[in-house]
């Protein structure tokens, strides 16, 4: 390998935490160590960068974390980093420590910050997509998405047990403020009668039609999965509206909430995180900057951060049709 | 064994469903079969008894259900069974089919119904405690309680991951309208800072003192577990009040909800259900009636239904102290 | 949609079972129903085809199976289908029932049978890759692979607990007679010191070097993951050889075995199975034959069966390097 | 509370590790802290006592371990502690540090060592039953037993999926060298056709009779659960013998092995461990010695160590009968 473009790097986790962030961090630190790159962990996202909260990390600093949810570096949303002054402070700390490359693990907001930081100060940055929402372009899956899907699915499987025993209708809210990936996939996987997501213009009439069709086939209980960001109505409103038209229904609401962000990462997430952590460090070494490391069809790919933010993984149209066909 | 006191029995599940009800049902059906007792399943609790919704059951009717949550007989709360007319209809169906013994799987309400039915019509009844709330006297644990504890604990473990990563305070509501068993045990098992239960007179000042003490020890994130039936305030109100006194806290609320009722039963619940199902049938055969089958310290015991309803498993005082000592 | 190329199809599961086969079956049956195609299930793989063991299936035949491991149609390896006579019998049954399309869920062997059957008798066939081994070309993942990875990972996570507590070395055998995908990915996900797979020429010296390097870094316990089909030696022999060179090591062996084939499918496997089941039926309707439905980078793709069998998903070279770098 | 009988205590984990040992350790350390007792952790069981490997522990030393399998103090079997010289060294270290009480978490062997140590040197000792085998008298359950049961049950549930899909017979070995508790309870919970345990004199003829009876009822696949210490034959021999008499059976063997010792403890185990850790420290404070803390029917009880070792929790005869009745 020719000479590395970076000698000393820092790594941070930012935005909403996701299972597998620790596995990505471990991969960054150990890959850096393997290639004799010094590596610092930054605590609490961009806030730590601004406050100079750096931590020298070696291979043993990240032992026994590959299987842990959350992020040992902690995460935060930083208002100050959105200001020029904040970023200047952050840059000064980097200069002081001699840091010439920065690995940013997070989502949309994290990447926007990284991009601006790079454009203003020239420091090499590379992104790793870590968010349960899967709303980042340039990678088949984001880190944490697969684990969140399994968590949501397991919870809905349990809810189905009680729904079936009591002939109930459940409206289940899953995470996803702007993206319906979790709703669509967990709903498909649990045989939801209907799935409401922000990417599609849903109508209450269509939902009611589905209820009526289900009645005809003798289905006595139903699950409707609703993304947090659904525009038609929230789960409580949906339950209320449904009760008006179907007064005999025994309707309940469940909000899965923050448990979807935690838990030991799935195998797919640990492997993805390990590969992207490796890819981020080797990418920086090869001179890449302002890109995001991602996996497409088992291959490591780099996408300009700008593209990763602006473009979107689109909800597969087929999936909407399939979920409808299969939830008979 | 001398002659059985019953020849033809029926079994029903009633009230809120609980993991392990199917395992209990399987045990009832197969034990009856083993001793040449005819066995009928009744659908949808006492409603099925009233409507004559009986199902002849043999050993193969209950195959592959020991590991399934919910109840294949379905459950319901019956208003009609609270009336003399309703119970008369139910009795008439029993007479018509020649049923001389009834196994009732459920909780408090279920047992009250059974007791009255026995006292009015003389038909032998025996109860099996199936409820996640553990609020039945005469058994160390009720069926479903252990599974619900593990479900709640797993969810709170996940929530802790994200709480820790973001230095947050979470108020987590678990099931238990009248009983704090789930809250107390799942809270103890997850190192909750505080646990609020209906059995104890809680005060907001004590909670705030705990927050302040935690700050002193450097604890940056906390979980407070709150039973559904807590009298001081519900989780949203608690969050709001806390926010006023601790404006810097990043506070979130999670309501675990109905997922606590579902899921494949734990080993302890499957074994308990199997033993109680067996105990219920052999109890009826030996001429017992108006009692509940329970397990105490691994021994099968029978408790008069009246006692099972009136007395209560008391929250262990030690447990409250222990949870306080350990959540440093 | 223009007229369908098929009117009546049959579906079977064959070869080693894999979690998600039931989800695929459900998707085939319900998609067929949606498009007014008649659908028959064939029991016990090609044996059922030969013996005429067909079962008319409608939407309710596949209810509550999306979350179940195994296959309700059962699976078997058929010797008779390898003979011309056997296949002739199978074809006669298809003719008798008017079946003009066949969906075959399984692996290599299953597809070889399907291909020959198509070439001999002209009946349309389409394959769905269902095997935990992931050794099929034309799809990023096979159905069951993701679930098996998580099962293996969970077991190894548990083994690590006891390995660490007792400073032990564990040799863990995972499934994979010809392919090291499970070993490589579960080993990477659990921080295995070394991973031995049939695709690579391993040497005992390299393994011993890894042990010695681990000693230097103070690692007191280790996991070595070995694929079932590893050519260097099996786990018992590896343990014995290691004991000779490292007499102080407390060495244990664990063979994960058949539990890797079972269990409720992961969300990824349920979604993959649902999409491929849909894709298989619509593929047949569009006139496709002698192809396999697969997913690459979230897109449905069809690959000639011949190619799916002959080509192989290659073990990613990067992954071998990454596992080495990260297991410091 | 009157003055404590101890001022400075040490705690160790010894023998085979069990899930919940960390939770017990946490409870010991935090209870001691609460009552102003100094507390030392001893590494690697009695070896650490002999080698003076002590670690001062405070409340933060045990944070985030309640949910972790294994033991952070590590465990070992000590040959040297079986000698007078070894114990003298251990005592000298205790004297040097001023330790006047010792909490020993482990099983039979651990307790025997503690008892002799107490009798020889007068230092107060108290035992906490931590072993997955449940073979300790004086407590309904030992720490780790409940978790091991669920681990074994989950694995057998998975094996059943593939057994059913292929009409196979599986012989599954679970842990338990001298005790059949895991086998009996996990077998009952998974509907095993037969369960072979060391406490009962099993015969191959009875097993074969069960196979023949199962055939008559149309059962096409079966699980036989065998305790590690079964005297009739090991799983491989059983498989071989069965194959001779039932040549048509497709028979497989699975050995669950060490995964049964690991994993995050169940809620019941965390609560049990917390209560016993508390009970051990308060027991020492009250002047108790040479006893074991246990739970019977939700009450804390102390049993003389001698009794805990000599007596045995007997396998419940009912359970053998019930497992036979229910596995139709």
Q: Are residues C25 and C106 in the same domain?
A: yes
Give the pLDDT of residue C313.
82
Task: Confirm if D294 and D138 have CB atoms less than 8 A apart.
Answer: yes
Residue B78, classed as helix, strand or coil, is coil
In the listed set A239, A261, A283, which residue is the last one of a domain according to the structure?
A261
C18 is annotated as contributing to ligand binding = no
Is residue D247 domain-shared with residue D269, that is, in the same domain?
no
User: What values do phi and psi take at A86, rounded to 5?
Assistant: -60, -45
Q: What does the pLDDT look like over B156-209, one tens digit per residue? A: 999 999 999 999 999 999 999 999 999 999 999 999 999 999 999 999 999 999
Catalytic-residue membership of A133? yes
Rounded distance between C-alpha atoms, residue D12 and residue B30, angstroms: 47
Q: What gap in Å lies between CA B12 and CA B303, rounded to an integer? A: 19
Does one domain contain both B92 and B231? no
Residue C159 has pLDDT above 60, yes or no: yes
Residue D190 contacts residue D225 (beta carbons within 8 Å): yes
Confidence class for position B1, pLDDT limits 50, 70, 90: low
C325 in a structural domain: no
Number of structural domains chain A divides into: 2
CA nearest A148 in C: which residue? C267
* One domain for residues B45 and B140: yes
Report the residue from D26, D268, D322 with minimal CB separation from B326. D26
Provide the CA A21 distance to its chain's centre, in angstroms: 10
Q: Mutate one of B31, B189, B279, B320 to test the D interface: name it (highest D CB count within 10 A).
A: B189
Residues of chain B with C-beta less than 8 angstroms from the C-beta of D325:
30-31, 34, 278
Does A87 share its domain with A231?
Answer: no
- pLDDT for D1 equals 57
Task: Using alpha carbons, select from C223, C229, C209, C280 the residue that is nearest to residue C25.
Answer: C280
Strand order in the sheet with D291-296: D54-56, D38-42, D8-13, D101-106, D124-129, D291-296, D299-304
> Which residue of chain C comes nearest to A151, CA vs CA?
C267
Which residue in this structure is represented by tokens 């009040």?
Answer: B241
Q: pLDDT, tens digit, for every residue of D60-85?
A: 999 999 999 999 999 998 999 999 99
Nearest CA in chain C to A281: C322
| Cβ distance of A316 and C298 shorter than 8 Å | yes
Q: In the prediction, which pLDDT does D238 show? A: 98
Are C136 and C314 within 8 A, CB to CB?
no
Q: Across the A/B interface, how many CB contacts are shorter than 8 Å?
A: 112
Helices of type H across C1-68:
21-34, 46-51
CB contact C319 to A (< 8 Å): yes
Render each residue's pLDDT in chain A as its tens digit; 328 residues. Answer: 579 999 999 999 999 999 999 999 999 999 999 999 999 999 999 999 999 999 999 999 999 999 999 999 999 989 999 999 999 999 999 999 999 999 999 999 999 999 999 999 999 999 999 999 999 999 999 999 999 999 999 999 999 999 999 999 999 999 999 999 999 999 999 999 999 999 999 999 999 999 999 999 888 899 999 999 999 999 999 999 999 999 999 999 999 999 999 999 999 999 999 999 999 999 999 999 999 999 998 999 999 999 999 998 888 888 999 999 999 7
Contact A76 B166 (CB under 8 A): yes
The closest CB to that of B258, out of A254, A260, A262, belongs to A254
In the block, residue with structure tokens 């799916």: C308
Least confident range from A297-301, B22-26, C89-93, C171-175: namely: A297-301
Provide the angle, in degrees to the nearest 10, between the axes of the packed helices A267-285 and C145-166: 80
Please tell me whether residues B128 and B150 are part of one structural domain.
no
Assigned domain for A236 exists: yes
Task: Look at residue A314 in the predicted model and tell me its pLDDT.
Answer: 85
Asked if residue C120 and residue C206 are part of one domain, the reply reads no
Which of C17, C53, C100, C133 does the annotation list as catalytic?
A: C133
Nearest to C254 by CA among C278, C282, C234: C234
Tokens 């049709």 — which residue? A321
Sign of the dihedral defined by the CA atoms of residues D242, D243, D248, D251, in that order:
positive
Task: Say how many CB pairs under 8 Å bridge A and C.
Answer: 121
Is pLDDT of D303 > 80?
yes
Q: So what's the pLDDT on residue C217? A: 84
Does any domain span residue D228? yes
CA distance D71 to D18: 8
Instruction: Using DSSP, state whether D173 is helix, strand or coil.
Output: strand
The pLDDT of residue B194 is 96
Tell me whether B170 touches chain A (CB under 8 Å): yes
Cα four-point dihedral sign A295, A299, A302, A303: negative
pLDDT above 70 covers what percent of chain C? 100
Is D260 annotated among the ligand-binding residues? yes
Annotated binding site of B for ATP: 16, 77-78, 107-110
Catalytic residue numbers of D, as ranges = 133
Q: HSE-up of A197 (CA within 13 Å, CB side)?
A: 25
D83-109 in b/e form (b: 16+ CB < 10 A) is eeebbebbbebbeeeebbbbbbbbbbb
Count of H-run helices and E-run strands, chain D: 11, 11
pLDDT at C74 over 60: yes
Note whether B92 and B67 are same-domain residues.
yes
d(CA C18, CA C105): 10
Q: Which residues of A touch B262 (CB under 8 A)?
A: 157-162
Most A CBs within 10 A among B15, B110, B166, hence the mutation to make, goes to B166
Q: Are C77 and C104 in contact (CB under 8 A)?
A: no
Q: Which is catalytic among the residues B133, B135, B146, B202?
A: B133
Same domain, A306 and A281: yes
Is D315 among the domain residues? Answer: no
Parent domain of C122:
8-144+265-310
> How would residue B315 be classed by pLDDT, with cut points 50, 70 and 90?
confident
Q: Do D150 and B266 touch (CB under 8 A)?
A: yes
Residue B313: pLDDT band (50, 70, 90) is confident
B190 plus B120 within the same structural domain: no
Instruction: Return the SS3 of D228.
Output: coil
Q: Which residues pair with B173 in a beta bridge?
A: B226, B255
Q: What are phi and psi of B217, to 5 degrees?
A: -85, 0
C136 touches chain A (CB under 8 A): no
Q: Which helix (H) or strand (E) holds D222?
A: strand D222-227
- Residue C106 belongs to domain with CATH number: 3.40.50.450
Cα–Cα dist B204/B199, whole Å: 16
Beta-carbon contacts of residue A282 (< 8 Å; ≥ 6 apart): A31, A35
Q: What is the pLDDT of residue A204?
A: 97
Evaluate whether residue C242 is within a structural domain. Answer: yes
Q: What pLDDT, in 10s, does the model give residues C215-240?
A: 998 888 999 999 999 999 999 999 99
**Does A277 reach chain B within 8 Å, measured CB to CB?**
no
Question: D25: which chain C residues are within 8 Å (Cβ-Cβ)?
Answer: none
Residue C165 in contact with partner chain D when CB distance is under 8 A = yes
Phi and psi at D144, nearest 5°, equal 105, -25
Q: What is the pLDDT of residues B63-94, one digit of tens each?
A: 999 999 999 999 998 999 999 999 999 999 99
- Beta strands A38-42 and A54-56: pairing type? antiparallel
- Which helix (H) or strand (E) segment holds residue A86: the answer is helix A84-97
How open is the CA angle A141-A144-A148, to the nearest 5 degrees? 105
DSSP lists the bridge partners of residue C300 as C295
CATH assignment of the domain containing B161:
3.40.50.460
CB A263 within 8 A of CB A147: yes
Instruction: Mark which residues 16-55 of B lie under 8 Å from A by CB.
Output: 17, 19, 21
**Coil/strand/helix, residue C85:** helix
Q: How far is A319 from chain C (nearest CA, A)?
A: 8
User: What average pLDDT score do residues D41-46 get?
Assistant: 98
Chain-chain contact of A60 with C217 (C-beta, under 8 angstroms): yes
DSSP labels for B111-146?
Answer: HHHHHHHHHHH--EEEEEEB-TT---TTSSS-BTHH
> Quick one: which of D148, D32, D13 has its CA closest to D99?
D32
In this prediction, residues B251-279 reach a mean pLDDT of 98
Q: Which chain A residues are Cβ-neighbours of C149 within 8 angstroms?
A: 267-268
pLDDT of residue D314: 85
d(CA A201, CA A241): 17
Backbone φ and ψ for C17, nearest 5 degrees, come out as: -75, 160
Residues of C with Cβ-Cβ distance to A30 under 8 angstroms: 325-326, 328
C163 is in an annotated binding site: no
Query: Is the pLDDT confidence value at D214 over 60?
Result: yes
List CB contacts (< 8 A) between D252 and chain C.
257-258
Whether residue C241 sits in one domain with residue C293 = no
* D315-325 residue pLDDT tens: 888 899 999 99
- Tell me if C26 is assigned to some domain: yes
Interface test with D, best of B180, B271, B282, B283 (most D CBs within 10 A): B271
Contact D161 C70 (CB under 8 A): yes
- Domain boundary pick from C229, C261, C293: C261
The Cα of B78 is separated from the nearest Cα of chain D by a number of Å equal to 31
pLDDT at A94: 98
Whether B157 sits inside 8 A of D67 (CB atoms) is yes
Reported confidence tier of residue C141, pLDDT bands at 50, 70, 90: very high
Residues above pLDDT 70, as percent of chain D = 100
Please give the share of chain C, as a percent, with pLDDT higher than 90: 94
Judgement on whether residues A18 and A84 belong to the same structural domain of the protein: yes
pLDDT number for residue C315: 86
What's the pLDDT at D132?
A: 97
Neighbours of chain B (3+ CB pairs under 8 A): A, D
CA distances from B152 to A155, B260, D129 (A): 11, 6, 26
A255 at B interface, C-beta within 8 A: yes
CB contact under 8 A, D261 and C162: yes
The reply to whether A108 touches chain C by the CB within 8 Å rule is no
Task: Say if B255 falls within a structural domain.
Answer: yes
Cβ-Cβ contacts under 8 Å, D271 against chain B: 185, 188-189
Distance from CA of B84 to the nearest CA of D (A): 37
Q: String of b and e for B264-292 (b: at least 16 CB within 10 Å)?
A: bbbbbbbbbbbbbbbbbbbbbbeebbbbb
Helix then strand count (H, E) for chain A reads 11, 11
Q: What is the pLDDT of residue B104?
A: 98
The answer to whether position C283 is within a domain reads: yes
DSSP C311: S
Give, in order, the Cα–Cα distances in Å from A93 to each of A56, A88, B98, C255. Answer: 14, 9, 86, 51
Once rounded to an integer, what is the mean pLDDT over residues C114-125? 98
């Amino acid at each position: 390998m020719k000479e590395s473009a970076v000698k000393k790097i820092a790594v941070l986790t930012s935005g909403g935490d996701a299972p597998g962030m620790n596995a990505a961090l471990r991969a960054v630190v150990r890959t850096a160590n393997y290639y004799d790159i010094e590596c610092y962990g930054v605590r609490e996202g961009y806030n730590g960068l601004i406050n100079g909260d750096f931590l020298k990390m070696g291979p043993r600093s990240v032992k026994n974390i590959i299987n842990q949810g959350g992020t040992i570096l902690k995460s935060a949303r930083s208002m100050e980093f959105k200001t020029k002054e904040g970023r200047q402070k952050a840059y000064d700390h980097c200069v002081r420590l001699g840091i010439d490359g920065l690995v940013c693990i997070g989502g949309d907001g994290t990447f926007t910050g990284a991009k601006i930081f790079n454009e203003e100060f020239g420091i090499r940055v590379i992104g790793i997509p870590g968010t349960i929402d899967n709303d980042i372009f340039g990678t088949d899956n984001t880190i944490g998405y697969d684990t969140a899907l399994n968590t949501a699915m397991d919870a809905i499987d349990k809810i189905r047990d009680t729904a079936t025993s009591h002939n109930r209708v459940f409206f289940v809210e899953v995470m996803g403020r702007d993206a319906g990936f979790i709703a669509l996939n967990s709903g498909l996987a649990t045989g939801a009668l209907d799935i409401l997501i922000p990417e599609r213009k849903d109508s209450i009439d269509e939902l009611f039609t589905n209820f009526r069709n289900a009645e005809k086939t003798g289905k006595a209980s139903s699950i409707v999965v609703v993304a947090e960001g659904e525009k038609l109505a929230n789960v409580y409103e949906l339950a209320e509206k449904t009760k008006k038209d179907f007064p005999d229904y025994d309707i309940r609401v469940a909000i899965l909430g923050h448990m979807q962000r935690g838990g030991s990462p799935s195998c797919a997430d640990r492997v993805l995180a390990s590969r992207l952590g490796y890819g981020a460090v080797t990418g920086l070494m090869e001179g890449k900057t302002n890109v995001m490391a991602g996996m497409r069809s088992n291959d490591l790919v780099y996408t300009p951060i700008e593209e990763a933010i602006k473009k979107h993984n689109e909800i597969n149209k087929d999936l909407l049709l399939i979920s409808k066909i299969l939830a008979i």
